[in-house]
Amino acid sequence: MPSSPTARALEALFLLQERPGVTAAGLAERLGVSERAARQYVRVLREAGVPVASVRGRHGGYRLGRGLRLPPVVFSAAEALALVMAVLDGHHATRSDQDDDLVGRALDTLLRALPERVAAQAESVRRTARAAPDRGAARPAPETVAALVEACAERRRVRFTYTSEGGRTADRDVDPWGVVVRHGRWYLLCAAPSGRRAYRLDRMGEVRSGGPGDGAPEGLDPVAELTEHLASGWSMATEVHVEAPPDVVRRGLPAALGRVEPLGATGEGFWITGTTDDPWWYAEQLVRLPAAFTVVGGEELRATTTALGRRLLASVGDA
């Protein structure tokens, strides 16, 4: 998808800052567009109030006029490297090879603004390292994120069209509490007429601001609240006894499996109680736990765990 005129105009602005006196031909070459398009981007900047002066003659070209002062971008070499690593860790591309790669384009612009000695190490990592695509990630539109974060900050209700996993579409009116990123997916934690809810941002349509809302409850931990919410409300109940200290349980299992509660005052073990719609996934998570466990509740989970255990035994020829 080609870049918008506004995005290209911003690139032209940085080029004008770096190369005062650059000609339309020079802008066109750096942007990879025609001279006519380069002049159009300059026109966009002027319409936005950016003072761009045209100087005619042998040494003429475009220059930024008085009154425009871009704030300096100051990073250490370690900070610049950490930024590139964070982009890679988020499974984004670090290069702006594609016109619609907003993250790569933003990083490219930022590194070009840094002194060469500061950006050198980050540039080296950016050229050589690659991020494997995160197939489970589902990134929303930046406009959706911005609208929801603003609504949370201003404690205003929002309305949006939401498409469920089953393909059903409906309008939602909610009081937003916070935006949480979890395992490559973005969620809105909020209060709906039916109670506490979490909606995926990538399934939302246009977000429209509403009237004043109540905002998040005092002392809310959005991450913990979302994790607990995602572990409840599914069709199959689960109950598991784990013979291990609590730190082993919490370290070895996803929190989305359910609530972890002590077995009793003696500290003999812990219960994990929750719900699921995917007993195979649930059983596979339990197998990863470095401690003995017993599936006490949930007929579907008991049957699935039995089948998984038999499959593992058969794989090594054990009767």
Q: What is the pLDDT of residue 294?
A: 93
What per-residue confidence (pLDDT) applies to 63?
Answer: 81
Which pLDDT score, from 0 to 100, does residue 2 have? Answer: 46
CATH number for 309: 3.30.70
User: What's the CATH code of the domain at 47?
Assistant: 1.10.10.10
Helices (H) and strands (E) counted in the chain, each on its own, are: 11, 11
| Rg, C-alpha atoms of the chain | 27
Which 3 state secondary structure label does DSSP give 51?
coil
For residue 199, the surrounding DSSP H or E stretch is strand 195-200
Report yes or no on 135 lying in a domain.
no
Q: In this structure, is residue 229 part of a structural domain?
A: no
Range of the domain at 52: 5-64
Q: Find out whether 298 and 309 touch, Cβ atoms under 8 Å.
A: no
Q: Are strands 236-243 and 292-297 parallel, antiparallel or unpaired?
A: antiparallel
Residues 208 and 254 in one domain: no
The structural domain count of the chain equals 4
245 and 278 share one domain:
yes
Rounded to two decimals, what is the model's pTM?
0.60
Which three-class secondary structure state does DSSP give residue 114? Answer: coil
Token couple for 131: 């991020």
Q: In the 8-state DSSP scheme, what is residue 2?
A: P
- Asked if residue 250 and residue 311 are part of one domain, the reply reads yes
- 83 and 119, same domain (yes or no): yes
Q: Is residue 133 part of a domain?
A: no
Residues 94 and 147 in one domain: no
Assigned domain for 180 exists? yes
Residue 263 shares a structural domain with residue 287: yes
Whether 45 maps to a domain, the answer reads yes
Sequence-distant (≥ 6) Cβ neighbours of residue 28 within 8 angstroms: 34, 35, 37, 38
Is 124 found in the same domain as 185? no
DSSP H or E segment with residue 160: strand 156-163
Q: Look at residue 177 in the predicted model and tell me its pLDDT.
A: 94
For residue 170, the domain's CATH number is: 2.30.30
Contacts of 3 (CB under 8 A, 6+ apart): 99, 100, 105
How many angstroms separate the CA atoms of 233 and 275, rounded? 6
As a whole number of angstroms, the distance between CA 122 and CA 258 comes to: 41
Same domain, 173 and 208: yes
Residue 226 lies in a domain: no
- Of 34, 64, 94, the one marking the end of a domain is 64
Give me the pLDDT at residue 264, please.
64
Taking only the tens place, the pLDDT of each residue in 153-182 is 899 999 999 998 778 899 999 999 999 988
Residue 136 falls within a domain, yes or no?
A: no
Note whether residue 276 is domain-resident.
Answer: yes
The answer to whether residues 160 and 210 touch, using CB atoms and an 8 Å cutoff, is: no
- Number of Cβ within a 10 Å radius of residue 116: 8
Asked if 49 and 86 sit in the same domain, the reply is no
Ranges in the chain, pLDDT < 50: 1-2, 99
Are 53 and 85 in a shared domain? Answer: no
32/123 Cα distance (integer angstroms): 22
pLDDT of 1 reads 38
Residues 6+ apart with CB under 8 A from 231: 255, 256, 257, 258, 259, 274, 275
Instruction: Read off the tokens for 181.
Output: 């990123």
Q: In the chain, which ranges are continuous DSSP H helix?
A: 5-18, 24-31, 35-47, 77-89, 102-113, 116-128, 142-154, 222-230, 246-252, 279-287, 299-315
